[in-house]
């Protein structure tokens, strides 16, 4: 019995969807019970990295460049890092 074009397209679409999702479950994209914190939080709480950040912040303030330099690629600028360091003393 010949199938219509719409039925064939729907079956092909379902096959492709199944192949793309092979081995995945609905919860694979969700990390349950784990919170990701920004890297700056880890650096501020680490005593060695904190001292380095304080030195870098002071050096950038001397040259008035704290707003032009970021911690990481998309991280906060060092004027914000300086504020965070002061707030968490």
Q: What is the pLDDT along the chain (89 residues), one digit of tens a residue?
A: 567 888 888 888 888 888 877 766 555 555 566 667 788 999 999 999 999 999 999 999 999 999 999 998 888 999 999 999 999 98
User: What pLDDT shows up at residue 28?
Assistant: 53
User: What pLDDT shows up at residue 31?
Assistant: 57
Q: Quick check: pTM over 0.75?
A: no
Q: Where are the domains of the chain?
A: 5-87
> Under 8 Å CB-to-CB from 57, ≥6 apart: which residues?
66, 78, 81, 82, 85
Distance CA 22, CA 1 (A): 30
User: What pLDDT shows up at residue 25?
Assistant: 58
Read out DSSP for 31-50?
Answer: -TT-----HHHHHHHSHHHH
């Amino acid at each position: 019995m010949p199938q219509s074009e719409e039925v064939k397209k729907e079956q092909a679409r379902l096959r492709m969807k199944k192949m793309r999702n092979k081995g995945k479950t609905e919860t694979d994209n969700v990390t349950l019970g784990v919170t990701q914190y920004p890297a700056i939080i880890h650096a501020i709480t680490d005593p060695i990295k904190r001292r380095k950040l304080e030195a870098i912040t002071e050096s950038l303030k001397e040259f008035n460049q704290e707003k032009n330099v970021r911690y990481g690629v998309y991280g906060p600028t060092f004027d914000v890092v300086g504020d965070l360091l002061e707030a968490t003393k």
